Amino acid sequence: MTLNRRKFLQGAGTLALGSMVFSSRAASLLEHRKQHAVGLQLFTFFGIIDDDVKGTLTKIAAIGYKEMESAFSKKGGYYGMPPKEFKAMVEDLGMAWKSHHVLGAPFKMPKGAKMPNGPDGKPMVLPAMRNLRDNMQELVDEAAAGSLEYLVCANAPTDTLADLKTSIETLNKTGEAAKKAGIQFCYHNHDMEFHDVEGKIPYDLLLSETDKNNVKMELDLCWVTKAGKDPVELFKANPGRFPLWHLKDLDAARVGPAPVGSGIVDFKRIFEYQKTAGMKHFFVEHDAPKDAFASIKSSYDYITETLKA
């Protein structure tokens, strides 16, 4: 009886060890599968993509990008197409359209700023752009028609506390409408939301005075770093509030955007807190790069080979 029990325990131990090894391997494989698809924000190609939408998307897909976040177009709409047509084009190229950027209020050029030149060397002329303050339900309905998971406010007026109050009202209303349509609404920051306005920090108010379930955040890691804020501390203070991230680097001079991995943003540390943030998707972006394709290829290589995100 003792011998049999010993054999049984030995066999059980072997099975248990084998099970542990199998579980470890399974966990490793599962963790590998959890790696995020690399996404791209198409504002990187602003002023370029409209000349050849399908050709541009084809080259983007060839680099390896799998998810898309769309933005403004000189053609209006979704690069001159209704949402379902644009969605079909993206999916035919093996990518998924996840999110779209809209304005929070009518577009105004910043003081002293000028429209960038197009390929013809002349200042770009933009069509009238719809915004959430004036066209909220229409924009939400179109996002729903495209079966989008996210709708993102690209920016909203924050110059005064009165501007902020109006913007927060608009964001909350849009968040409610988006929820009814089965879409998660988010707000995308620049660095201006972290500058003092009449004794208040706009981003603090955007976090505290919008519904935390209806209005999530798309954190731009370049601009928040330029503002001197730590993304990790934001995640810890507001867990689960940041399902979307914009990945672009900040150059060493802290002047403006750079390809991911070429500047001062500590992406490795930030990605250690992706679960705390509640991150679901990230999109590479580079505002007005000299060579958009070279920039997104460099970013893609760093993300997949070094960052292994």
pLDDT of 79-88, one tens digit each?
999 999 999 9
- Alpha carbon distance 273, 232 (integer Å): 7
* pLDDT reported for residue 269: 98
| Among 269, 241, 264, 239, residue whose Cα is nearest residue 253 | 264
* pLDDT reported for residue 34: 62
SS3 state of residue 38: coil
pTM here is 0.87
Which residue has 């009886």 as its token pair? Answer: 1
Residue 274: its H or E element? helix 274-277
- Alpha carbon distance 129, 148 (integer Å): 20
- Alpha carbon distance 307, 299 (integer Å): 10
* pLDDT reported for residue 35: 79
- Alpha carbon distance 188, 153 (integer Å): 6
Q: How many Cβ atoms from other residues are within 10 Å of residue 15's Cβ?
A: 10
State yes or no: pLDDT of 144 exceeds 70.
yes
* pLDDT reported for residue 115: 72
- Alpha carbon distance 277, 297 (integer Å): 26
* pLDDT reported for residue 110: 62
SS3 state of residue 79: coil
Residue 113: phi, psi to the nearest 5? -85, 155
Q: What is the pLDDT of residues 185-240, one digit of tens each?
A: 999 999 999 999 999 999 999 999 999 999 999 999 999 999 999 999 999 999 99
Tokens representing 43?
């504002």
- Alpha carbon distance 111, 149 (integer Å): 34
Q: What is the pLDDT of residues 256-270, one digit of tens each?
A: 999 999 999 999 999
Q: Which domains does the chain have, with CATH numbers?
A: 35-105+118-307 (3.20.20.150)
| Among 232, 155, 227, 225, residue whose Cα is nearest residue 188 | 155
